[in-house]
């Protein structure tokens, strides 16, 4: 292998890198070599000459270097095959026959900037960085050899690529996409649009959380807000809901949700409606509607740090409205996939929403993304999904019943105003 350029890091970056974090920021380099083209492989050392690792460099990005290896190994097809094989092995304890899951989750699997989602015989791949984009061909060879797919699609249509100086695009890398890509998930069938759907076509990170509908959905009237292609709502119907209403602003998503309901024989229970969710929640509240279970699973409201304050306002508004739409002993399943909105920030928002709605809740579960989206202990950015299950207290506001209930359930956390 041709000797690589060596970049030197400042002392303050060494400690974080030694704990396993793969990112080196531009202000942590002794010199930012703007003459190197984006995506070029580099070696990284400390000022004392200590070896740190090997990764790829981009002078245009705030994250100037993302490490691929802590050893001086060739970053070639064999290296990529080992990494992908290790990632696949981590997913193997999943239920037998699982055919839709994330194979590679970027930094968490030691391949920063790479996402690989499997939908049966079709793979959807995202090359999010200039460094990974340069490795497209060897990665494709590994995927074809290991998975023998009928098609591999590049979903390079994310804003992250623009930050790396890359074009946003969607293209077929291998084979031919079948007329219909259909997956099985928790005993239900879903049509997946791998070329045009949100993310790569399905919200795989919620796969294990969908099963939490077993219980809250039984004989319930359910509202699935931001329903997308109907995964939450159809799981609710499967677990015994008597009625499911889904809201989403995308006509295409709503039509696909309706087809998914038909595919599973659940059209008599599920009704999916195209409507702005904020407006829909206000309309339902004005009409005096009530629901036993409500799911809020919106897209990321905070995609950059300057958007966090605005995102919190949006999260609070939809949660306040949902809390007011709940029946007295209802269940709210509320989610955020914005990694910039941390657990405590999300909890504080829920406390504020509950106070404005004059409701009290117990937190009966605080869940996160599934096993196929692993959270690396050393990389907090890999922990992004929050899925909180709240149980409304059935006592009226201002009574002492909620306090008695809390004493009887000491393991439950409480959110909202305390009614002495």
DSSP 395: S
Residues 25 and 63: beta-carbon distance below 8 Å: yes
Residues 13 and 25: beta-carbon distance below 8 Å: yes
- Give the active site residues: 337
Angle, in degrees to the nearest 10, between helices 251-263 and 231-238 = 30
DSSP annotation string for 117-173: EEETTEEEEEE-SHHHHTTHHHHHHHHHHHH--SEEEEEE-SHHHHHTT---EEEEE
* Cα four-point dihedral sign 176, 177, 178, 183: positive
The residue with tokens 């914005």 is 338
Residue 91, SS3 per DSSP: helix
DSSP 29: B
Give the dihedral of Cα atoms 218, 221, 225, 229; nearest 10 deg.
60
**Side-chain half-sphere CA neighbours of 93 within 13 A:** 5
Q: How far apart are CA 115 and CA 155, in angstroms?
A: 9
Residues 17 and 67: beta-carbon distance below 8 Å: yes
Q: What residues contact 134, with CB distance under 8 A and at least 6 apart?
A: 39, 56
**Side-chain half-sphere CA neighbours of 120 within 13 A:** 16
- Region class of 336: left (phi > 0), else alpha (psi between -120 and 50), else beta: beta
Q: How far apart are CA 345 and CA 291, in angstroms?
A: 26
Q: How far apart are CA 43 and CA 8, in angstroms?
A: 9
Sheet holding 51-57, edge to edge: 5-9, 40-46, 51-57, 63-69, 23-25
Q: Give 47-54's long-range contacts (Cβ < 8 A, gap of 24+).
A: 47/8, 47/9, 47/10, 47/11, 50/14, 52/9, 52/14, 52/17, 53/17, 53/22, 54/4
Q: What residues contact 323, with CB distance under 8 A and at least 6 apart?
A: 332, 353, 354, 357, 359, 361, 392
């Amino acid at each position: 292998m041709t000797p690589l350029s060596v970049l030197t890091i400042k002392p303050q970056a060494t400690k974080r890198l030694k704990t396993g974090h793969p990112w080196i920021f531009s202000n942590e380099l002794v010199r930012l070599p703007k003459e190197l083209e984006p995506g070029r492989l580099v070696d990284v050392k400390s000022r004392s000459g200590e070896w740190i690792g090997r990764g790829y460099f981009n002078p245009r990005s705030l994250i100037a270097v993302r490490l691929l290896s802590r050893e001086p190994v060739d970053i070639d097809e064999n290296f990529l095959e080992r990494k992908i094989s290790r990632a696949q092995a981590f997913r193997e304890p999943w239920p037998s026959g699982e055919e839709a899951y994330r194979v590679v989750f970027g930094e968490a699997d030691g391949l920063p900037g790479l996402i690989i989602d499997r939908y049966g015989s079709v793979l959807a791949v995202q090359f999010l960085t200039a460094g990974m984009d340069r490795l497209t061909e060897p990665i494709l060879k590994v995927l074809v050899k290991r998975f023998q797919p009928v098609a591999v699609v590049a979903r390079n249509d994310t804003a992250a690529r623009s930050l790396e100086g890359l074009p946003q695009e969607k293209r077929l890398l291998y084979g031919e996409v079948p007329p219909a890509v259909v997956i099985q998930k928790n005993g239900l069938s879903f049509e997946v649009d791998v070329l045009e759907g949100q993310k790569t076509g399905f919200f795989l990170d919620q796969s294990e959380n969908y099963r939490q509908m077993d219980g809250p959905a039984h004989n319930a009237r359910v509202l699935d807000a931001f329903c997308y292609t109907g995964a939450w709502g159809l799981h609710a119907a499967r677990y015994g809901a008597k009625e499911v209403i889904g809201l989403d602003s995308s006509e295409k998503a709503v039509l696909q949700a309706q087809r998914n309901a038909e595919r599973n024989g659940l059209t008599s229970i599920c009704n999916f409606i195209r409507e702005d969710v904020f407006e829909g929640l206000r309309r339902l509240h004005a009409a005096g509607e009530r629901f036993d279970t409500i799911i809020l699973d919106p897209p990321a409201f905070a995609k950059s740090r300057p958007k966090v304050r605005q995102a919190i306002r949006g999260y609070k508004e939809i949660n306040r409205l949902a809390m007011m739409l709940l029946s007295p002993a209802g269940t709210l399943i509320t989610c955020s996939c914005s990694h910039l909105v941390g657990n405590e920030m999300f909890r504080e928002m829920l406390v504020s929403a509950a106070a404005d709605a004059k409701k009290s809740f117990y937190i009966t579960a605080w869940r996160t993304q599934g096993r196929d989206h692993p959270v690396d202990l050393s990389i907090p950015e890999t922990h992004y999904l929050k899925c909180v299950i709240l149980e409304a207290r059935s006592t009226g506001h201002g009574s002492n019943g909620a306090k008695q209930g809390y004493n009887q359930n000491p393991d439950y956390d409480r959110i909202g105003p305390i009614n002495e």
